[in-house]
Amino acid sequence: MNPQSRTLPSPGNSWSNRIRQAIEICYYSIKLMVLSPFFLALFFWEQVKNSAWNRRRIQIKNRTLAKLQRRKRRLTGVSQTREKDIFQQLKSPLLSLPAELRIKVYEELVGQDEIHIILCNQKLCSFRCIKKCKSWSTWGDGHCWIRGRRGAAAGQEQDLQPWLYHPSGIRVLPFVMSCRKVYNEMIHMLYSTPTLKFHDYTSILAFSTTTLPDRFASIRHVYVDGYSRGSFSSLPFSKSYPKPSNYREFRHLPVRNLVLPQAFSGEPLPDRWTLVCEALSKMPDLKSLKMDLQFYTCEVREPLSRTARDAEETWAKRTFPPLGKLKEKGIADFKVTFDSLPSSEVMRKWSEFSFVTAKLRIESEKIA
């Protein structure tokens, strides 16, 4: 083909290309102007998020409880209400009984059985114990609050989900809320009569901060059962492992009782074991405290280069002093049992803690 026969671009096509290029330049310029503040904000946010100031702010937030929440309207007692506003309901067969007999009825209704309390799915759940555990050797299906599951090899599920096994609640609140007189006479018995049973440190701390001070002061019987009886680790026990303390898990809960220490300046909090013992020591009417624990829930795992003797001595220094403060309260029935204890050489230095026993020692005494 003859080169001279080629058609040259017309002036109209050249102008259309230039206009198209100008439009594209304007489009990308406007897009850059619109998105540049977003990218700049994202850049500065990353700088702030990784700054020492923000890390300290988060530490203080996690180590302090939320503000104390008060009820909009306090429930007044019968003695605080004007005479003309009181409805004694003397026609009721129950309320016409003497006060001593009514108390007996309330105690029978509430019961003295154990009530499991577990923090799960951002909610503090409670349910009655339907199969009380009587032995350390109880395992799996024999334990009330664990739904027995042996694992995939046996054709069963692996996860242990106790809160899906039993209906929550102790099923007496409708009666308590039936009238003001019953409420005033019975509400404290919900805390003083049964044995409150906990399985992990987090649930104890959550319960302590969300219970009203006067209800908290009514608690008489506590059982801390931290011994795992399932084939697989369940969620509550993982919350008792040694790790830095913070109140991040309690942010969604209403704070009713400032019973736990707070670090307003960002200083480290005591470990969870110390916090639990401190919360229990602030129960003024506590009469019975039983603790069945595993060694690892109070174990210090660092550094790995330590000898077994050093690890045992560190464990004793970390575990026994908080128990000593509880012992000083003069609790009438106070029993602490671990699945194992340090060597006799280490325990000899802590002879004043003879009330702390080991499961293996108890079983050997029974055999003897």
250-288 tens-digit pLDDT: 878 888 888 888 877 767 788 888 899 999 999 999 999
Give residue 92's pLDDT band: very low, low, confident or very high (50, 70, 90).
confident
For residue 269, the model assigns a pLDDT of: 81
The sheet with strand 356-358 has its strands ordered as: 123-128, 114-120, 195-198, 221-225, 288-293, 333-338, 356-358
For residue 76, the model assigns a pLDDT of: 52
Average pLDDT value for residue range 56-85: 64
d(CA 352, CA 357): 12
Give residue 364's pLDDT band: very low, low, confident or very high (50, 70, 90).
very low
d(CA 107, CA 230): 33
For residue 192, the model assigns a pLDDT of: 92
For residue 243, the model assigns a pLDDT of: 57
Q: Which residue has the higher pLDDT, 309 or 347?
A: 347
Give residue 142's pLDDT band: very low, low, confident or very high (50, 70, 90).
very low
Give residue 239's pLDDT band: very low, low, confident or very high (50, 70, 90).
very low
Average pLDDT value for residue range 177-188: 87
For residue 191, the model assigns a pLDDT of: 93
Please count the residues of the chain.
368
The residue written with tokens 């040694």 in the block is 242
Structure tokens at 357: 């026993």
The CA-CA-CA angle for residues 321, 323, 328, to 5°, reads 95
Say if strands 221-225 and 123-128 run parallel, antiparallel, or are unpaired. unpaired
The residue written with tokens 């809160």 in the block is 163
Q: Tell me which range, 91-105, 215-229, 280-294, 350-364, is most confidently predicted by mean pLDDT.
A: 280-294
Average pLDDT value for residue range 153-163: 43
d(CA 126, CA 168): 5
pTM: 0.73
Name which of 241, 246, 284 is nearest 263 in CA terms.
246
Residue 305 has pLDDT above 50, yes or no: no
User: What's at 5, amino acid-wise?
Assistant: S
For residue 217, the model assigns a pLDDT of: 93
Structure tokens at 263: 């670090």
Helix (H) / strand (E) element for 358: namely strand 356-358
How remote is the C-alpha of 187 from its chain's centroid? 23
Structure tokens at 326: 């509880």
Give residue 295's pLDDT band: very low, low, confident or very high (50, 70, 90).
confident
Residue 227 has pLDDT above 90, yes or no: no
> What residue spans define the domains of the chain?
93-367
For residue 141, the model assigns a pLDDT of: 45
d(CA 142, CA 152): 19
The residue written with tokens 């809960």 in the block is 253
Angstrom distances, CA of residue 40 to CA of 48, 53, 78, 92: 12, 20, 63, 72
Average pLDDT value for residue range 306-331: 84
d(CA 343, CA 247): 34
Structure tokens at 266: 């960002």
Q: Mean pLDDT in the chain?
A: 74
Q: What percent of the chain has a predicted confidence (pLDDT) above 70? A: 70
Q: What percent of the chain has a predicted confidence (pLDDT) above 90? A: 12
Give residue 11's pLDDT band: very low, low, confident or very high (50, 70, 90).
low
For residue 7, the model assigns a pLDDT of: 55
**Cβ of 174: how many Cβ atoms within 10 Å?**
7
DSSP 220-266: -EEEEE----SSS--HHHHTTSS-----GGGTTSPP----S---TT-
| 165 burial type by CB count under 10 A (0-12 exposed, 13-18 middle, 19+ buried) | middle
The CA-CA-CA angle for residues 220, 225, 230, to 5°, reads 155
- Range with the lowest mean pLDDT among 34-38, 100-104, 163-167, 297-301? 163-167
